[in-house]
């Protein structure tokens, strides 16, 4: 993961080596030669995805000059580097702290998430409110696809009710815990302290943030919204619709995978989408 960039660019090599120093362990060893299980550790997965995204955006140079940015959950941190709100080093330190804090919260409260397909958001929201225990909408991924998050029993009960209500599928996800739910409160509090000590600069373009789905350019508001992100939902459907309404003409997904391109096609089939590329 990312080895082609490391081998093909002195800039990428410098950034990866700096990341090893910031993180306090050689994430490059795990990214380049580690097992799938090694990469699945939260403390590795989040910095690895962040690194891949940010390094690629830097290698693209003038080919990547965004007029607006957004990132899904963890991706919001790389989006904030892309628009100049956060420096690479500061953002990586926050991502590392976020991953560690989330891992601890997961271990303290066994919990999970489930993808609900084929129901209107309002139906999913109403049924979650009927369930005893903690279960909330967590990721509004696209119309007809909403991920719920909560304690294990509540997720099971909600999946049963949602299936009875007409969901095409209710799929429990292989995740470490109930991300973007109240169960992440210990992690939110821990990350908030680190975020409060980090400099947020005026961005070069708006960021559409997870918690509200709207464009933001005020550094102080961006900082506050980033703190709220861990326990609040990812309003990706709203982000995509708002970006389109605000004149979005092309989507470039910078990072590993093509998931977000597929989600954008769900809201606008005619929208040009592509993956970020660079020439070694």
Residue extents of the structural domains in the chain: 3-107+182-275, 110-172
* Neighbour count for residue 5 (Cβ, 10 Å): 21
pLDDT of residue 39: 86
Per-residue CA distances from 232 to 73, 182, 260 (Å): 10, 8, 20
Q: How far apart are alpha carbons 76 and 54 in whole angstroms?
A: 11
Q: What is the pLDDT of residues 168-178, one digit of tens each?
A: 999 999 888 99
Active-site pick, 52, 53, 180, 181: 180
3-107+182-275 — its CATH code? 3.40.366.10
- pLDDT cut 90: percent of the chain above it: 90
* Neighbour count for residue 256 (Cβ, 10 Å): 14
Give me the chain's average pLDDT, please: 95
pLDDT over threshold 90, residue 218: yes
Per-residue CA distances from 104 to 95, 116, 182, 183, 190 (Å): 14, 26, 14, 11, 10
Residue 24 confidence class, pLDDT cut points 50, 70, 90: very high
pLDDT over threshold 90, residue 37: no
Q: What is the pLDDT of residues 142-166, one digit of tens each?
A: 999 999 999 999 999 999 999 999 9
| HEC readout, 39-92 | HCCHHHHHHHHHHHHHHHHHHHHHHCCCCCEECCCCHHHHHHHHCCCCCHHHHH
Average pLDDT (253-279) is 94
Active-site pick, 73, 96, 111, 149: 73
Q: In CATH terms, is domain 110-172 a member of 3.30.70.250?
A: yes
pLDDT of residue 43: 84
Neighbouring residues of 101: CB distance < 8 A, sequence distance ≥ 6 = 186, 187, 188, 190, 191, 230
Higher pLDDT, 147 or 257: 147
Predicted TM-score (pTM) of this structure: 0.95
Query: H or E element: which one contains 97?
Result: helix 88-108
Q: How far apart are alpha carbons 125 and 130 in whole angstroms?
A: 9
The question of whether 180 is a catalytic residue gets the answer yes
pLDDT of residue 30: 95
Q: Which neighbouring-strand residues pair with 117?
A: 145, 169
Angle at 188 between CA 208 and CA 228, to 5 degrees: 30
The question of whether 181 is a catalytic residue gets the answer no
Q: What is the pLDDT of residues 88-115, one digit of tens each?
A: 999 999 999 999 999 899 888 889 999 9
Q: What is the pLDDT of residues 177-206, one digit of tens each?
A: 999 999 999 999 999 999 999 999 999 999
């Amino acid at each position: 993961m990312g080895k082609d960039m490391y081998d093909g660019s002195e800039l990428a090599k410098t950034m990866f080596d700096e990341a090893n120093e910031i993180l306090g362990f050689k994430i490059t060893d795990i990214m380049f030669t580690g097992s799938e299980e090694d990469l699945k550790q939260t403390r590795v997965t989040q910095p690895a995805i962040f690194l891949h995204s940010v390094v690629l955006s830097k290698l693209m140079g003038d080919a990547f000059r965004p007029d607006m940015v957004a990132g899904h959950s963890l991706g919001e941190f790389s989006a904030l580097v892309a628009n100049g709100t956060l420096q690479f080093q500061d953002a990586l330190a926050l991502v590392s702290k976020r991953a560690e804090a989330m891992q601890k919260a997961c271990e303290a409260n066994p919990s999970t998430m489930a993808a609900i397909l084929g129901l209107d958001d309002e139906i999913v929201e109403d049924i979650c409110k009927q369930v005893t225990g903690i279960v909330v909408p967590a990721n509004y991924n696209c119309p007809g696809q909403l991920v719920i998050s909560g304690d294990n029993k509540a997720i099971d009960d909600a999946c049963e009710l949602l299936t009875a209500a007409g969901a095409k599928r209710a799929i429990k996800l292989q995740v470490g815990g109930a991300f973007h739910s109240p169960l992440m409160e210990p992690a939110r509090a821990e990350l908030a302290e680190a975020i409060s000590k980090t400099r947020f600069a005026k961005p070069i373009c708006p960021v559409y943030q997870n918690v509200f789905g709207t464009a933001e350019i005020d550094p102080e508001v961006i900082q506050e919204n980033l703190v709220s992100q861990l326990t609040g939902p990812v309003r990706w459907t709203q982000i995509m619709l708002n970006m389109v309404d605000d004149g979005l003409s092309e989507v470039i997904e910078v990072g590993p995978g093509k998931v977000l391109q597929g989600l954008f096609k769900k809201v606008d089939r005619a929208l040009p989408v592509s993956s970020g590329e660079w020439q070694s």
